[in-house]
Amino acid sequence: MKKKLFLLLFVATMLACGKAQYKTPDLGGLYSKAARRSHDEGNAVIVIPGILGSKLRDSESGQLVWGAFEKTTSDPESPEGARLVAIPMEVGVPLSDLTDNVHSDGALDKVKVSLFGLPIELNAYINILSTLGAGGYLDESIASNQLNQIDYGEDHFTCFQFDYDWRLDNVENAKRLNDFIEEKRAYILEEYEKRGHPREDVKFDIVAHSMGGLLTRYLLRYGPNDLPEDGSIPEVTWEGAEHVDKVIIIGTPNAGAVGAVENLFVGRDFGPFLPKYEPAVIGTMPSLYQQLPRSRHRAILDENRNPVDIMNADLWVENGWGLADPNQAEVLEWLLPDVSDPNERREIAIDHLRKSIKRGKQFQDAIDQPAAPPKGLRLYLLAGDAIPTGSGVTINSTKEHFEVTDYEPGDGTVARYSALMDERMGGHWTPQLKSPIKWSNVMFLFSDHLGLTKDPAFSDNVLYLLLEQPME
């Protein structure tokens, strides 16, 4: 009983701390006029959450797979729940063809947690939506939650949330984003025509958090085109930038994050009394491998401080990491109930591991290519640099366990160097940033990964970029 009381007091204290008062700017006074600009001006806005930022639901049963920790949500610690959240595995089948009945079901504006029957709501992306509501960008979530702080009139119809299945390959989701932009572009042009304000074209501004920035960057560079089957790196064409003006990327792990290594090695535990997602479950998700750190940045080291090539699938198999971990045999039995032979289940898992690592390396090489953006496309970065953040992992001599041993400034999840894609990391230091991403501007905030969007400086500067910054 004392333990339960302590936990409830702890949660209440954390929620109270999350409501700390800031001296905030008068967003309404600053941006009301710009928000009520004529319909012949301005861009539409698309909000893209990061990993875990979209609800997932089973199409057949209607059961929520991700988006709340309640009794009705699938339990990843059960065979049925593990199969729902994991990606199917099959030898010889491309990752893009490994589909199930789970689909994204809206951006996750709040996370619901139920402890001892007490419902608790934790803000997730509602801070981004609130900022856009203050700037006059209305969508159904903003309207229903009454997040807007100013009078923006009744005719705004140009703000959209792009939810997606964050388990999947980022290239697959970039293709879906391309279709989403084309669909919304046609819708907006039709609405302008109906309202007596015909336009020849419409541009989009994108606000992307965390992993959402990775799939956005791929879309801009390569449009809806897939990565070549032969494993080569395609030419950067900027095909996906045709209808995009400004992109605001928030806390994106452009050079990876050590948290992805931890999730793939040991799984993900969200806290006391909440379910654990085993490494074999998480290891089925291609998106996690695409967020692994780069070997050239010396982020993964052995005990002699020599770099380890984390994108070498043979090492995973040899050392029993992730899907190749023999201790995950029971979980593999859950995920592959129709396969009776444990050796065959392991072969299927290793095949999936190899495909995911190969795809992850190809994706990383594609978005790491230096390429100057086309005229008119502006890339902005908002990142944290005030919290010690894991930037280096040391794998011990048994090669069974790892420890975060190096820290750099960051937001607690994504290191500063990773957000910048700073190529000086692990190499020759120079005074000026060396990055394959040509940032139009960079702004640093002093908050954690999700807290970046709560910072008053975030709201003020994002609205300035979207509403008032002069067009080029």
Q: Which of 59, 58, 163 is nearest to 109 (CA)?
A: 163
Residue 369's SS3 state is: coil
Query: What secondary structure does DSSP assign to 233-299, as a single string?
Result: PPPP--GGGTTEEEEEEES--TT--HHHHHHHHH-EE-STTS-EE-HHHHTT-HHHHTTSPPGGGT-
How high is the pLDDT of residue 369?
96
Please provide the DSSP assignment of 132-174 as one string: HHHTT---HHHHHHT---S---S----EEE----TTS-HHHHH
Rounded distance between C-alpha atoms, residue 273 and residue 289, angstroms: 28
Quote the CA–CA distance of 404 and 425 in Å, as a whole number. 16
Measured between alpha carbons, how far is 355 from 38 in angstroms, rounded to an integer? 50
In a domain, 35, yes or no: yes
Residue 288 lies in a domain: yes
Residue 239 lies in a domain: yes
pLDDT at 150: 39
Q: Measuring CA to CA, which residue among 129, 158, 160 is closest to residue 145?
A: 129
What type of residue sits at position 147? L
pLDDT the model gives residue 144: 44
CB 264 within 8 A of CB 283: yes
**20 within some domain:** no
- Residues in the chain, pLDDT under 50: 1-20, 38-39, 113-122, 142-153
Q: Which residue has the tokens 């959240």?
A: 85
* Cβ atoms of residues 143 and 98 within 8 Å: no
Domain CATH number, residue 398: 3.40.50.1820
> Which residues make beta-bridge pairs with 206?
46, 247
- Predicted pLDDT at 431: 92
Determine the Cα–Cα distance for residues 37 and 471; give it in Å rounded to an integer: 14
Angle formed at CA 454 by CA 205 and CA 174, multiple of 5 degrees: 35
Residue in the structure block whose two tokens are 């979980």: 331
Domain annotation covers residue 254? yes
pLDDT of residue 370: 95
Q: How many CB atoms lie within 10 A of CB 104?
A: 23
Q: At residue 181, what is the residue type?
A: I
Please report the pLDDT score of residue 13 as a whole number. 42
pLDDT at position 205 is: 94
Euclidean distance between CA atoms 135 and 459, whole angstroms: 9
Altogether, the residues listed in the chain come to a count of 472
Q: How many domains does the chain have?
A: 1
d(CA 240, CA 61): 36
The answer to whether position 293 is within a domain reads: yes
| Domain ranges, residue 365 | 27-468
Q: How confident is the model at residue 15, as a pLDDT?
A: 43
Whole-number pLDDT of residue 388: 96
Contacts of 344 (CB under 8 A, 6+ apart): none
Asked if the structure places residue 1 within a domain, the reply is no
Strands 110-115 and 68-69: parallel
> Would residue 13 count as lying in a domain?
no
Q: What span, in angstroms and rounded, lies between the C-alpha atoms of 159 and 191?
A: 13
- Provide long-range contacts, Cβ within 8 A and 24+ apart, for 86-94: 86/280, 86/281, 86/284, 86/285, 86/335, 87/167, 87/168, 87/284, 87/285, 87/286, 88/284, 89/284, 89/335, 89/336, 89/348, 89/349, 89/351, 89/352, 90/348, 91/347, 91/348, 91/351, 92/351, 94/355
Distance, CA of 100 to CA of 82 (rounded, Å): 13
